[in-house]
Structure 1
Amino acid sequence: MSKPLRYLLAVLLPPVGVFLTYGLSISLLISIVLTLLGWLPGSMYAVWALVKHDENVGETT
């Protein structure tokens, strides 16, 4: 899936963006909990998680 689409989903539907990047993981659980507490914390976490994932993927290649 393309990066811009993942980031768009991370902003609009945070758990979906995190799921498409990490699959079933603790990051998904954190994203769901933060989104239930409010859309903004969920979106902020999702974007942060995607940025960190992209940084880590860039380091290994």
Structure 2
Amino acid sequence: MLNSNQVQNEDPERDPLALSDAALRLAGHDVTDEHVRQLGREVAAGALSADEAIARVRRASLK
């Protein structure tokens, strides 16, 4: 469920994560965690800094 500060991709043709997904797949990786993907969308939209997104992922992984 999205809350008001989450960014949702309305148009799959213009997915802001498409380039990073392609680069990761070429390197043999894939990001499937929806929380991490949502943070990536927020960073791409300028709603969240990359440093804050990284900090949130690290905090979540320590739980």
TM-score category, normalised to shorter length: 0.3 to 0.5
Q: Could you tell me the TM-score, scaled by structure 2's length?
A: 0.37
> Highest Rg: 1 or 2?
2
Looking at secondary structure, tell me which structure has more helix per residue: 1
TM-score, with normalisation over the residues of structure 1? 0.38
